[in-house]
A = this chain, B = another copy of it.
Amino acid sequence: MIKVGIIGATGYAGGELVRILMGHKDAEIVWYGSRSYVDQKYADVYRNMFQIVDAKCMDDNMDELAEQVDVIFTATPQGLCASLINEEILSKTKIIDLSADFRLKDVKVYEEWYKIEHKAPQYIDEAVYGLCEINRDKVKDARIVANPGCYTTCSILTAYPLAKEGLIDMSTLIIDAKSGTSGAGRGAKLPNLYCEVNENIKAYGVATHRHTPEIEEQLGYAAGEKVVLNFTPHLVPMNRGILATEYAKLTKKVTYEEVKAIYDKYYADEKFVRVLEKDQCPETKWVEGSNYVDIGFKIDERTGRIIMMGAIDNLVKGAAGQAVQNMNLLFGLPESEGLELVPMFP
């Protein structure tokens, strides 16, 4: 039985980790970390967990925590994970960081986009970017897994095969993404109030959103070239779900079947990636509560572009689900253990 500690267990991603791990037969949460709710019962913070979780929230005493657990999930604001780890901690426990601290290989890019100083740059190199479908083998031996961002997971997986195969002109790639509101976190901020979000849609962080360099870096590896792209997130009045609509010029004339074959080459054996049938567009509702990425695409001969679309549940494949997938890889378990979550509809 894997002993699990969560730092940031009372955010939405932390809560989803708890939900998923409740159904994982080889893992057990022994530390519900939450600075905001120390000593309060976890089930008083998330009442869905009444009579399911009896534990209280605890502060993030890393030394004690590292002694007790096999893996720590940090579902915390940027900068915190980097400030907590050191060689002794890493000698005792694995780290799966759901924040951005170890996602970008260039510390200057990190500091520029996140506007904070990185506290543990010495670990950036060894940290593995935990996008399981792409980095599966590297994750297995990692001490630190940088769990990808929600928008990035969706954006990258949607375009990856075509970037890898050189089928799209990377300089033309534009990603227009739409997210449910849980992505904004559980902080009590005016823009996240019900009446501000409901019956409303807006773009935000236009040309400046922090997930941009992460997408650029990973798709750059795939394409074998430096990638600079537009990424525009939008806030949608729904709890969960991300839809990424991606546009790029095709580098050559291709048929539906040819593109489908490329997607299948990379994803046919992937448990959690579903390439939809012809002319089907993914919908976030079809993956809600599950670890799936649904992908569809349409070739537009008029413009010479391909429109790729991907949908995930931002809290599952975009956060907690993928983190558990990484945990499974780290501990040699079947990759889908605890993740056989059937999407809930409606």
Contacts and interface: CB of A to CB of B under 8 A. Distances in A.
A151 to B, nearest CB: 14
Q: Size range of the interface on A?
A: 35 or more
Nearest to A316: B344
A184 to B, nearest CB: 8
Interface string A313-346: 0000000000000000000000000001011111
Given A188-B190, A230-B305, A340-B23, A201 B240 contact: no
Nearest to A45: B190
B346 A285 contact: no
Nearest to A281: B203
Contact of A178 (B49, B188, B201, B294): B201
A261 to B, nearest CB: 18
Nearest to A344: B289
Interface stretch (A118-126, A129-137, A241-249): A241-249
A238 B186 contact: no
A150 interface: no
Interface stretch (A54-62, A79-87, A100-108, A295-303): A295-303
A236 B239 contact: no
Contacts of A199: 180, 199, 238-241, 284-285, 288, 346
Given A174-B247, A192-B194, A48 B286 contact: yes
A27 interface: no
A274 B203 contact: no
A310 B34 CA distance: 30
A206 interface: yes
Contacts of A192: 193-195
How many identical subunits does the complex contain? 4
Contact of A245 (B19, B176, B186, B238): B176
A282 interface: yes
A186 B178 contact: no
Interface in A1-39: 12, 15, 19, 22-23
A255 interface: no
23 contacts: A12-B346, A47-B276, A48-B286, A48-B288, A48-B345, A49-B343, A52-B342, A178-B234, A194-B194, A199-B239, A199-B284, A199-B288, A200-B238, A200-B284, A201-B283, A206-B300, A207-B307, A229-B303, A230-B303, A232-B247, A232-B307, A237-B237, A289-B289
